[in-house]
Amino acid sequence: MTTTASRTRTAALPARPAVRRRSSRRTAATVGFHTSGILISLAWFAPILVVLITSFRTFDDISANGIASLPHTFTLSTYVQAWNQGGLFQALVNSMIVTIPTVVLTLLLSAAAAFGLSRFRIPFRRTILLLMLAGNLLPVQMLLIPVARITQQLNVYDTLGALIAVQVAFGIGFYTFVLYGFMRTIPNELQEAATLDGASTVRIFLQVILPLTRPALAALGALSFTWVFNDLLWSITLLQTSEKLPITAAVLSLQGQYVSSWSVIAAATVVAAVPSTIVFLLFQRSFIGGLALGSVK
């Protein structure tokens, strides 16, 4: 028995260095992964930190020490100046007037289109879906002048309604494509059972399909809010009156008034970033869950 136990211990000894080597490699890989992640995060966060610090500095501090230096003063007057003289309150109101109806209409119309394409045998439905998606592949820069001319011909140029309509039109294709993939994974038995119970098509859509696609709707809602709220290109193309400009265009217009006052422009930029940040923080769980669910499916 002693001989057998000694052989067992002797046979087990060579395995320990291999285990140590694997553990060392795993530790090195973990340290390298976290180190690279921290460095990438710092590189991404550095410009945001510079803008945030600059927004609390005075004009004299930046002029004397440079924009890249450490702050020597701290003031909130830049935010007061940007808010009062830059018209940020009206710009935020305009952004909400455009963003909220755009998000609601886009998701509602896209969900209805995806429901019809995914749950019913519509002729050429794949072709319809590809055509809707192909519209998003066109460069937006090619469509600026034609869309602006169309709004002029329809006498809706320089109105928030025109901006809402354009944002909805250019968002439906992509959102329909995403929701189509989600709705196709819903078992047909649920729809058949609801039909046998006497539910109408509208009721099936509202009470059966939409609740099951809530993660996708939440993810697309957060994305849509961020894209529409932060849009600049369509805003400066379709709007001219300063009182109708959304927040991003209003911040851009500050460069003409405060071309050398970087702190005021930085303060306005921080104010413009707050709503999108709040929306992402509120819906981050649904947003990440929707993306993860889409990747699994």
pLDDT in tens, 31-90: 778 888 888 888 888 888 888 888 888 878 877 787 777 778 888 888 888 888 778 899
Is residue 61 within 8 A of residue 71, CB to CB? The reply is: yes
| Integer angstrom CA distances of residue 294 from 14, 201, 207, 240 | 46, 25, 21, 40
Identity of residue 98: V
Task: Decide: 244 and 234 in contact? Cβ < 8 Å.
Answer: no
Lowest mean pLDDT of 24-38, 163-177, 224-238, 272-286, name the range.
Answer: 24-38
Alpha helices by DSSP H, listed for the chain, are 2-12, 15-54, 59-65, 77-85, 88-119, 125-134, 140-153, 160-184, 188-196, 201-204, 210-212, 214-229, 233-238, 247-257, 262-296
Q: Say whether pLDDT at 161 is over 90.
A: yes
- Work out the average pLDDT over 128-148: 84
Q: Inform me whether the pLDDT recorded for 297 exceeds 60.
A: no
* pLDDT given for residue 296 in this prediction: 44
Q: What is the pLDDT of residue 51?
A: 86
The torsion region of residue 4 among left (phi > 0), alpha (psi -120 to 50) and beta comes to alpha
Q: What is the pLDDT of residue 156?
A: 92
pLDDT at 172 over 70: yes
**Euclidean distance between CA atoms 119 and 114, whole angstroms:** 8
Mean pLDDT for 290-297 is 50
pLDDT, tens only, 193-223: 888 888 888 888 888 888 888 888 888 888 8
- Looking at the domain that runs over 80-296, which CATH code has it been given? 1.10.3720.10
265 closest CA partner among 72, 91, 78, 85? 78
Return the closest-CA partner of residue 163 out of 274, 82, 247. 247
> What's the rounded Cα separation, in Å, for the pair 234 and 201?
36
Say if residue 295's pLDDT is above 50.
no
- Which pTM was predicted? 0.79
* Among the listed residues 117, 228, 219, 123, the one whose alpha carbon sits nearest the alpha carbon of residue 176: 117
What pLDDT is stored for residue 239 in this prediction?
92
End-to-end CA distance of the chain: 57
Question: What are the CA-CA distances from residue 64 to residues 43, 58, 60, 61, 223 (Å)?
Answer: 26, 10, 6, 5, 41
Q: From residue 132, give the alpha-carbon distance in Å to each of 173, 225, 237, 286.
A: 5, 21, 23, 26
Model confidence band, residue 280 (pLDDT cutoffs 50, 70, 90)? confident
pLDDT of 20 reads 67
> What residues does each domain of the chain span?
15-46, 80-296
CA distance linking residue 162 with residue 239, whole number of Å: 9
- Both tokens of 26, joined, read 């795993």
Amino acid letter, 274: V
What number of residues does the chain have? 297
Per residue in 220-274, pLDDT tens? 888 889 899 999 999 999 998 888 999 998 888 877 655 567 888 888 889 998 9
- Which one of 62-66, 76-80, 102-106, 141-145 scores highest in mean pLDDT? 102-106
CA distances, 115 to each of 40, 93, 132, 184 (Å): 40, 33, 15, 9
Query: Can you tell me the distance from the alpha carbon of 132 to that of 124, in angstroms, rounded to the nearest whole number?
Result: 12
Q: Name which of 250, 86, 236 is nearest 158 in CA terms.
A: 236
Would you give the distance in Å from CA 53 to the centre of its chain?
Answer: 25
